[in-house]
Amino acid sequence: MGSKKFLVWLFLFFFMVLTADAQMPGIPIPGRMPEIFGEYKMPDVGSYAEYKLTYPGEKAENIVKMSIVGKEKTIKGEELFWYEYQTENPKTGDVDIVKMLISGNPQKEGNIKRMVLKHNKDKAMELPAGMMQMINAPMDKEKKESSKKEEIENLGKETLDTPAGKLECTHLQYISEKKEISEIWQSVEIPFFGLVKSASKEMNMEIQKFGKDATSAIAEEPEELKIPGMEELKLPEIDSEKIEVPKIKQSTKIKKYLNN
């Protein structure tokens, strides 16, 4: 495979993931990971949770599956886990997979050590160190401060009848600083965030199934993604400490490459 068209798709995909606002999932973008409310708890290897995502006002839906498909240790003995986020469009049949080696909540900066992307039956590609530096870059101060201003109200216990069965839930209401309301139902039975159901103006999520027998959807060894201007940057040996990588100047090579 390894065609220029595929590399351009991967570069644009990466750019959209970096610049997309997780709170505004309007048009489903491959691999976009909307923010999930709740405390992240690392489940055992094999754990998974599958959701249906729908977008009010749009004729669009996605099936999303989160899984822990493996683990390994750093040179200092810290355990890292392979977290897989798979998005499927039921209408087109397109499947996009983002596989990440994480130390904690993948929504938090600095927790993603490696990342592999796969689109449909295309070859799996691993992002180079320069891109990982951008993914792990500190969050914009304004966004970080605004996220602290949301209000959370506990509305009590409820039993929900879901496609995954009846679940005893805690009903929470999140109110953002802009007074936008998100309704959340959580259960201790569901791995990762405990999320059973969520409803907001932009997106709804509901659990479809969950279990403990997940395996990776990426069978082959990934190739390293080559981006002009980043060839000299190699992924360092995994370490739990923050990896310092030289900053990359915006290269005209990339623009020229994309315009060819």
Residue type (1 letter), 242: K
Give the per-residue pLDDT at 31. Answer: 38
254 contacts: CB under 8 Å, gap ≥ 6: 11, 227, 228, 229
- Across the range 143-160, mean pLDDT stands at 77
**Which two tokens mark 242?**
């923050």
Pairing of strands 223-224, 125-126: parallel
Give the per-residue pLDDT at 142. Answer: 52
What is d(CA 221, CA 258) in angstroms, rounded to the nearest whole number?
26
The confidence band for 102, taking pLDDT boundaries of 50, 70 and 90, is very high
User: Hey, CA dihedral for 9, 12, 18, 21, is it positive or negative?
Assistant: negative
Whether pLDDT at 230 is above 70:
no
**Average pLDDT along the chain:** 76
Q: Where are the domains of the chain?
A: 4-140+213-259, 145-211
What is d(CA 91, CA 257) in angstroms, rounded to the nearest whole number?
32
Tell me the pLDDT tens digit for each residue of 20-38: 433 323 223 333 456 677 7
Give the per-residue pLDDT at 169. Answer: 97
The confidence band for 198, taking pLDDT boundaries of 50, 70 and 90, is very high
Q: Which residue has the tokens 């569901």?
A: 190
Query: Is this model's pTM higher than 0.85 or not?
Result: no
**Which two tokens mark 199?**
């409803």
Evaluate whether 95 touches 85 at the Cβ level (below 8 Å): no
